[in-house]
Structures are given as structure tokens and as C-alpha cells.
Homo-oligomer: A and B are copies of this chain.
């Protein structure tokens, strides 16, 4: 079979919006449309105007936005049973959305027609035909999503095929086989898709869900069986276990199957685009996500680290830079000396694997790990631990004391947080206070305010991320917490970590490391200018 061109339809804003924890604002939707257009997916399915007034508002707003690469699609269903197609509110809304493309779903599983729609199999065929003909008469490109197709085929092959023929004969441009419940095996997808491609012909598509962990595999198997249109969501969000993850499918088609689906330049931005979409969706991107996850090229076992240094294909299926991700070596108790040596040599290039310092640093890191620290991603704290052991560290200030006051003066009054701090630098004492949104914010502000008197370069520093993890959730508010903060000076970002039973103290430890790391880096830069 010769290789057909494959079109991608992204449904982050429609099927994805039905995922747990997803709640897009209008602004979020516009941002995601823009990034999907930059990636260049063929279709962006952006909402269901008939069922959700917020989606309709979005379609009104998007009319003024000109897309460069993608076509915008609105999603809806075939007309209701026993009414005229022109009178169906859902189809009216689809027209009002004024998109170039409309996607409509119809039922292909006989028992869903009779038990859920409560109509006859014959009427369902008419609903499919009427709806598609109506949209085609309005000059729409029509994608027909055949809901529950695989379950329908297994239950009543003849009827499920009839629904596809009805769609095809009415002018549907693409017919999409949906594994709506996500329970179909790759071998079944392969056999059934091949049958449909042979029987129906034309452009056939696939839409998979991940309920048995097969969404990506099933989509790829369907391509091998002849489909040329894949639906999914860019980072896999969706109802229940999610949709096919397009950030996995796109590089697999390109690198493993030689499809010309995306340019080399754009695929180098795959990781940053996926992380951006997660950020806008306000969900954490799973570390383990193929290709784009934070751990996708992270090596921890000592032997793995050694081998990857010799030859990256020892434990990497592609080069991480080809999709804009990074190789990482995780510092942990199972990491060998070579991982720790690598960190140490970044600062002190002359230290060797067998030196006493390496053993002392390893012991110290392991001890801290047992207390709940994790150094994966906390390069600022790792550097300070190393410096303290090697003796290349001098504190930049002394803390004399600090105090935090949170006050709710009355039931409906605003809560206020204030921090007081007293520090000494080179014999000079500075006391100051600051108010903030919450105790940690107040403490962060007060500390930097006091230190800026001595170190004006701290003016540019601000926190970009702040994460709290309860380590032993069984004792809840009394449990140990780990605080990870990410700071920036506008040019560079760095992360530090603190652990304590008290969230304030854990934050304090991470804040101090962050500031000291910044001051050390500045000193290094100055030294380089003179030596």
C-alpha cells in the first residue's frame, strides 16, 4: 500500500474539555487554537456550540482570527429523531458557528439506537443522511464520527456498515471509526479497519480512547490498516482515561514510520508546545509522558547512565533534542558515582571519581533523601550541598530571627499575612517587614527586601513556580512537606528544595538556597571577567 497523507484532528478543546480537571476560559481556548495552528494540525475541533453557550461565544470571537495552517471545526450530532433537519437546534448552532468544517457524530451500534436514542434503526439511517446532506448543502466540509463503531461492528456488522454507507452516499468527506469506550484490542482494530477500508473506501479516520491503555497503539494500527485521518488531543486529555495522545502519535509517525507529517523545525518544538498546552490547560504534564515528559529521557540506574554517556542509543530510542526534550541524569540513591561526579565536575572539574569528596557528597545526598529531599530537578540545592561538603561555601547572610503573623480580624474581613525579618551581613544588621498574599509570599518579600540593601542584584529575582508536596499524607496537616521553588533573574531559571514538618520552614530553606545560588552565580560571572 502506498503511503497516503495523514491528517490530524486535534480535539483538545472539545473531547479534551470533557476530561477531569479541565476547565478552559475563552482566553485559554484562543491560546490553544494559536499553538495548534503553529504546529499545523489539519483540523482544530474547537467546541460543541449546540450544547455549551461558552463554546458558541468562542466561535463568535474566533471569526476575527485568521489561521495560517489549520481549519477550524465545530462539533455536534445528527438531527434528533422524527424532526425536520432544518428545525434541529443542534444543527442550527453548527451553522451559526460559521466554521469551514463541521464534525457530526451519529450512532452505528444498533442497541444504542434502540435503547438510548429510543428510535428505529431505519430512522437513525435517515438522521445520518439528512444531517450530512443538509450540511453539505450549506457548503461545509463534513467529517462523520461513527460513534461506538467497533462495538457496533462486533454486535451487528451489517447494520454498522449500513450507517457508514449512509454517510458516504450523503457526501461525508471523511468517515471516522470511533472506539468510543476505548476497550478494543489492536488486533481487532486492525482486522475491522481493514474490512471497512475495503468495503467503504475513500477517506477513513480513527478516533480512540485510552480505557485499556491502547489509544496510541490502536491509532497506529489503524494507519497500518489504511486510515489517513487521526483524531486525538495533543497531550491526551479527554473523558475517563483520555483520548489518543497526539504528541506521541505525531513523532511516532515521523520517526518510526517515515510519514512526512510535520517539518523537522516544528517537531523540534514538540516538547515546548506540549508543555505550553498543559500550562494553559492548568494540568501538570505527566513526567512519564512519551517523547515530551520531564522523565522521557531521564536516566537513574547507574549502569544506564554509564552506557548512555558512551552511546545514547543504549537507552534512548531517539535523540531527545530531535523533539526539543533534554537528557537528564537523576541524582538519587540508585544513581552511581558517575551521576554525582558529573554534577561535581560541573563546579570543580578537577575532582575525580575516586576522591574522598565524592563519597562524602554521595553520603550526604543519600541522608537528605532519607529525610524526604528529592534532588531531581533541584540543581540549585545540589550545587549548595556539594559546595558545603567541599568547603567552597560561605553564607551570604546570617538570620537572627523571623516572625510571621497571619490575621483574620473578623469573620468577613480580609486575611492579612505579614513577615518580620532580622538579618546580619558583614556585621551590619537589617530589620524589615513586608506584607504578602500568604505567609510564604510575605516571607519571600521581606527576605529579599532586607538583602537588597547589601546585594542590589537581587532586585531582578522573582519566583516563577512554587510547589508543595505532602510527603506522608496519612498524618495530613501535621505531615512532612517538601517545597520546590523555581526562581528566575530574567535570564536564567533555577530550582531549589526544602523539607520540614512545617511548610513555612521548608519554604524558608528553599528560599535561602535560591538566593545563595543566585549570588554565587553572579560572583562566578564577575570572577570570569577578571581571571
List residues of A whose CB falls within 8 A of some B CB.
17-21, 23, 25, 51-52, 54, 111-112, 115-116, 151, 180-183, 185-187, 210-214, 216-218, 220-221, 224, 236, 239-242, 245, 248, 251-252, 256-257, 279, 282, 286-291, 293-304, 307, 310-311, 313-318, 330, 332-334, 369-370, 374, 376, 398-411, 415, 417, 436-441, 444, 462-468, 470-474, 476-479, 481, 485-486, 500-505, 507-508
Give the CA-CA distance A116 to B25 in the complex, in Å. Answer: 51
Q: Does B288 contact A210, Cβ atoms closer than 8 Å?
A: yes
Chain B residues whose C-beta falls within 8 Å of the C-beta of A54 in the assembled complex: 333
Per a CB cutoff under 8 Å, which of B186, B317, B504 touches A183?
B317
Residues of chain B with a CB closer than 8 A to A300's CB: 18-20, 239
Q: Of B116, B212, B485, which one neighbours A317 at CB under 8 angstroms? A: B212
Indicate if the CB atoms of B333 and A23 lie closer than 8 Å: yes
Q: By DSSP majority rule, is chain A's interface helix, strand, loop, or mixed?
A: mixed
Instruction: Give the distance to chain B from A241, nearest Cβ to Cβ, in Å.
Output: 5
Question: Given contacts A212-B256, A470-B466, A501-B438, are A400 and B404 in contact (CB under 8 A)?
Answer: no
Known: A212-B216, A212-B317. A407 touches B409 (CB 8 A): no
A445 to chain B, nearest CB (A): 9
User: How many monomers of this protein are in the complex?
Assistant: 2
Determine which residue in A20, A112, A295 has the highest number of CB atoms from chain B within 10 A of its CB, and name it.
Answer: A20
CB <8 Å contact, A241 and B293: yes
Can you give 13 A-B contacts (C-beta < 8 A)? A17-B334, A20-B298, A112-B314, A214-B220, A282-B472, A401-B407, A415-B505, A436-B477, A436-B478, A440-B503, A462-B476, A476-B486, A477-B485
A313 x B374 contact (CB < 8 A): no
Do residues B504 and A477 form an inter-chain contact, with CB atoms below 8 A?
no
With a cutoff of 8 Å between Cβ atoms, the chain B residues found around residue A317 in the complex are 181-183, 211-212
Cα–Cα distance between A352 and B441 once the two chains are bound (Å) = 46
Beyond contacts A20-B330, A181-B316, A438-B478: 11 other A-B pairs, Cβ-Cβ < 8 A, are A52-B334, A182-B317, A214-B216, A239-B300, A240-B288, A241-B290, A402-B407, A406-B504, A439-B502, A466-B479, A503-B503
Neighbouring B residues of A406 by C-beta, 8 Å:
403-406, 439, 502, 504
B478 near A473: Cβ-Cβ < 8 Å: no
Q: Which of B21, B217, B332 is within 8 Å of A214, CB to CB? A: B217
> Smallest CB–CB gap between A147 and chain B, Å?
10
**A470 surroundings in chain B (CB, below 8 A):** 465-468
